[in-house]
Structure 1
Amino acid sequence: MNIKICLKSDREDSKDAVTIEEYILNWLNTVKINELKPTSFDRKEQTIQYQILPYIGKIRLSDLKSEDIQFMINDLKGKYSYSTIKKAYECINSCLKYAVKRHDVSFNAAEGCTIPKALMNGSDDKIKFFSDEEMKRIECEAVRCYKNGNRIYRMGEIIIFLVNTGMRIGEALALEWSDINFDSGTVQIRKNVVLVKDRDENRGKSYKYIKQNPKTRSGSRIVPLNKAATQALISLRGINGKFKYVFATKTGKRIHPRSIDRMFRCILKKSGLEGVGVHSLRHTFASRLFAKGVDVKTVSDLLGHSEVGVTYDTYIHLIQEQHVIAVETLENVLL
C-alpha cells in the first residue's frame, strides 16, 4: 500500500492532520523500499504493523511525544524479545530522523527514549542447541526406515548436512549439484532462498520464494565438508542426483522450507526432544566448534556472519563458558 500524502502543503492544518500510521507507511513504501531487500522490507513492515501502529499509529505526527514512544517500549518489554523491541525502536527512530531532515517535525521524539536497562545488558533470547547425545538420537531418527526398507523421511539427510556445515536453511535449499565439489570436499554458497510477500495482486498468492544473494557479503563463502556431511550428500545424490537442486521434491522442484521445518519437528518429537526450529542446527554447529576450542573469527567465517561482533554477541555465553574451562585447565596444569 502506497499512501500519498502532502506534507509540504501551504495548509498547515493538512500537515498537522497526518498520523504516524500514514507517515510511517508512506516512508516505508516510498523511501525504505528502495534500500531494503524484499525479506528485510517484509520484516520492517511486520514490525510497523504489530509493534508500532497498535501503540502510536493514531497519534498525529505533530503531537507525538517521547512519552508515547517510551510507553510503547515499556509495554512491549513484557510481550516480546529484546531483538523485537530493539527493531521497533530503531524503526520509529529512523522514520523520525527522516521527518526531522525533511522539516516535517522539529525534533525526533525517539531520541528522548531508552530501551530498559534489563534488556540493554543482553538479549533475553536463549539460543537452543543440542548435545552430542541428543544429536545422535536426532540423526538416527532422520535416516530411519520402515520395516520394508523404505525411508520414513525422504530428505532426512538434510538434518545431518545442516548440523555439519552450519548453513542457513535458505542457503541449503538454494544449492545446486554444481555447487558441490566432492574432489576438494567443499560446497560453495552463492544464493539464499527466502520467502517474501507476493505484492503482485494479479497472482492471487500471499507469498512467493525468491533467490537472492546471501544475507551479507560474507555470506558468499566456501564451506568445507567433513565426512558426515559428505556421506549425507552422497546418499542424497542417489535420490536427487538427476535433478538440478540438491534438496529437491520428487518432481525435482525446490523443497519448501516449511516442509523441512515440519519434518524436523516430527523427528524431534520421535526422538523425545522439545520442538524447536531447524535454525537450532546452525547453533549446534557453532556450539560444537566452540567446544573444540575453535576461535570466534573462524566460527564467524564459517557461519558467514557480516562481522565477528555478530558471532560474539550471539554466542557470548558459550564463549564465556569456554574461557572458564580454559582457565580451569590451566589451573590443573599448574597444580
Structure 2
Amino acid sequence: MVGDITAADLKEVLNHWMNEDYAYTTVKKVYIVLKEYFRYLTQQEILSKNPMNSVPMIKKSNYMTAQNKEDLPTQETVTIFTPEEIEKFKTEAFSRFSNGKPKYQQPAAYILMLNTGLRTGELLCLLNSDINLEGRYLEVRQNVKEVCRREGTGYVPGREVKVGKAKTATSKHRVPLNGAAIPR
C-alpha cells in the first residue's frame, strides 16, 4: 500500500536507478515525479506525511562521482586573441570617421577591458579611488546591473541601470594593470 512507503524505500529506488547507470537527468526526472506524486497524495489527505520531504536529490557532481564519471564544464576552451587581432582591435577602437570624429566615444575603455578582462558592469562602476596608478592595479568593488523597472509592487515597462555592491566576495577583486592597459 502507498501509505507504507518510507523515505528509505524511495532513497533505495533512486539509488537503484543511479547504480543502473541511468543519466543524472533521468534520475532527477524520476525524483521530481515522485516528489509531485507524494505531494499530491498529502494535499488530497490520502497520506498525512510526504516521505519525499526527507529525500534530498543528490548533487550532480556527487552523482557523477558515484558513477565514476567526470562532470566537465560544457565549454572548456578559452579563445585568446592573436597579436594581429589585438592590433586590429586597437586600431578599430581609435578609428575615426572621414569627417575626423571618433567612431567610438570611449576607446580607452575598450583597451582597458581588453587588457584586464574587466566586464562592462565592472568598468562602468570604477571610481578614481579604485585606481592605484603607482601600484598599477585597480579594485573592483561594485557592479552595474540592468534591472526591470518597478513602481511599488507593479511592473513598469522598460529597464534601468543600478549600481550595486559586488554579489560575492570573489566578485570583489584586485586587477593588475599591465603596460598595455596603462602605459607609463
* 1:122 and 2:67 are equivalent in the alignment: no
**If the length of structure 1 is used for normalisation, what is the TM-score?**
0.34
Deviations 1:43-96 (A, max 9, x none): xxxxxxxxxxxxxxxxxxxxxx968xx88936xxxxxxxxxxxxx99xx8xx99
Deviations 1:13-46 (A, max 9, x none): xxxxxxxxxxxxxxxxxxxxxxxxxxxxxxxxxx
Which of 27, 50, 53 matches 1:105?
50
Tell me the amino acid that sits aligned with residue 123 of structure 1: P
Which of 224, 242, 262 matches 2:176?
224
Q: Which has the larger radius of gyration?
A: 2
Counterpart in the other structure of 2:44: none
Counterpart in the other structure of 1:209: 161
Offset, 1:164: 1.4
Distance 1:112 1:227 in 2: 44
Counterpart in the other structure of 1:296: none
Counterpart in the other structure of 2:7: none
Q: Identify, as 1 or 2, the structure richer in helix.
A: 1
Distance 1:129 1:112 in 2: 33
Which of 83, 90, 95 matches 1:139?
90
Which of 84, 91, 111 matches 1:160?
111
Unaligned runs of 5+ in 2: 1-12, 40-47
Distance 1:165 1:123 in 2: 24
**If the length of structure 2 is used for normalisation, what is the TM-score?**
0.57
| 3-state SS, counterpart of residue 160 of structure 1 | helix
| 3-state SS, counterpart of residue 209 of structure 1 | strand
Unaligned runs of 5+ in 1: 1-64, 75-87, 235-335
* Structure 1 runs, 4 residues or longer, greater than 6 Å off: none
Counterpart in the other structure of 1:171: 122
Deviations 1:148-188 (A, max 9, x none): 32111112222210121122222111112332233443322
Distance 2:129 2:173 in 1: 15
Tell me the amino acid that sits aligned with residue 153 of structure 1: Y
Gap change, CA 1:198 and 1:104, over 3 Å in 2: farther
Counterpart in the other structure of 1:192: 143
**Preserved contact between residue 148 and residue 156 of structure 2 (Cα < 8 Å):** no
Tell me the amino acid that sits aligned with residue 105 of structure 1: N
Q: CA RMSD in A?
A: 4.1
Offset, 1:206: 4.8
| 3-state SS, counterpart of residue 110 of structure 1 | coil
Identity of aligned residues (%): 25
Deviations 1:256-279 (A, max 9, x none): xxxxxxxxxxxxxxxxxxxxxxxx
Offset, 1:217: 1.4
| 3-state SS, counterpart of residue 205 of structure 1 | strand
Gap change, CA 1:149 and 1:197, over 3 Å in 2: same
Gap change, CA 1:182 and 1:71, over 3 Å in 2: closer
Distance 1:156 1:182 in 2: 19
Tell me the amino acid that sits aligned with residue 73 of structure 2: S
Distance 1:112 1:220 in 2: 28
Tell me the amino acid that sits aligned with residue 182 of structure 2: T
Distance 2:51 2:143 in 1: 42
Gap change, CA 1:128 and 1:104, over 3 Å in 2: farther
**Preserved contact between residue 90 and residue 111 of structure 2 (Cα < 8 Å):** yes
Distance 1:122 1:152 in 2: 41
Which of 150, 167, 184 matches 2:101?
150
